[in-house]
Amino acid sequence: MKSFLFTASLLGSLCLLTLPGCGPGAAPEGWGVDDHADMVIASTAPGGGALAVEYDFTQEVHLGAPQCIGGDGADCLGGIVLYGSESPGFDALFADEPEEGLYALTEGIEVRVVLTAASPEASLFLNGVSLASPGASVVLGESLEGLHTHGEFLLAFPGGSEPAGEFFLSFRLETDSPRYAGSAEFTLLLHVDDEHDE
């Protein structure tokens, strides 16, 4: 089991080299789900307040067709079965929405994504870094234009096993800017599409 968890935590690093849909070139048909939904980053007050995210966190993130990494046969025996999605991505709020209590960040604010909790099978590969353990973090970018990016939400399972149960990934946003406090914790619900469960 330790070997599997260690391998799963390294998948993000291997992603650039081995996984279709993660590096250059076209992804195979059915890999991931990318409808360009974005988690929009804002703040709770003009020019300050806490970082906030405009997104419906009650909706599930649907992960696409499985990919076999290092295994054999239809059941990927001896390998890892990986499900992934590039959506939702991250973006910035560009115009204040005072009726929603959301305001655009000032220019040049560096925002960091910090993983706070996750199912053992879940990780986020973002800007070349795999976030698989609580406390892991990566710089998302600088406001405003630099905050638009898509990573890979991933679920990894040992070959021959079936995905079962509820999966999640929680994070918060932080910045070193004295203008802004860190965000609340946000949780994404990860779901393997039913047609791929068999």
Do the beta carbons of residue 118 and residue 132 sit within 8 Å? yes
CA 186 to chain centre: 12
Tens of pLDDT, residues 93-108 = 999 999 999 999 999 9
Tens of pLDDT, residues 160-187 = 988 888 899 999 999 999 999 999 999 9
Do the beta carbons of residue 14 and residue 22 sit within 8 Å? no
CA distances from 45 to 106, 111, 112, 171 (A): 11, 16, 19, 21
Tens of pLDDT, residues 90-143 = 999 999 999 999 999 999 999 999 999 999 999 999 999 999 999 999 999 999
At residue 165, the pLDDT reads 83
What residue segments make up the domains of the chain, in order of their start? 2-196
The partner residues of 142 in beta bridges, in order of sequence, read 110
SS (H, E, C) 64-77: CCCEEECCECCCCE
pTM score, whole prediction = 0.80
Which tokens in the block code for residue 172? 């918060």
